[in-house]
């Protein structure tokens, strides 16, 4: 099944217009995937830092929690922007 799929892709890439569309979809998929992975790593680091900060200073729990939520929102916003930019590759001809 894998070889049949690769054969179909190879035949499609022989046509320059279809090849351009396939490469655009491939770029969009890779870009969106990297954005999601980067956001996951970023939010994991924020959670790790917030947990360590709360463990060291329990009296600052509310401040640390608020800042962690704000930073996570910024990371999610940047990831969403990156996914939208990657998705535009599909529509740009």
| Cα gap 89→23, rounded to integer Å | 9
- For residue 12, give every residue at least 6 positions away whose Cβ sits within 8 Å of its Cβ, in sequence order, or none: 18, 19, 22
pLDDT digits (tens, 9 = 90+) for 10-62: 666 666 666 667 777 788 888 888 999 999 999 999 999 999 999 999 999 99
Q: Are 90 and 24 in contact (CB under 8 A)?
A: yes
Q: What 8-state DSSP symbol labels residue 14?
A: T
Single pTM value for the model: 0.71
């Amino acid at each position: 099944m894998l070889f049949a799929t690769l054969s179909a892709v190879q035949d499609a890439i022989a046509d320059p217009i279809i090849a351009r569309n396939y490469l655009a979809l491939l770029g969009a998929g890779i870009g969106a995937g990297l954005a999601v992975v980067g956001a996951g790593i970023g939010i994991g680091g924020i959670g790790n830092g917030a947990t360590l900060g709360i463990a060291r200073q329990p009296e600052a729990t509310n401040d640390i929690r608020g800042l962690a939520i704000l930073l996570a929102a910024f990371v999610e916003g940047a990831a969403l922007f990156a996914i939208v930019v990657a998705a535009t590759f599909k529509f740009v001809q």
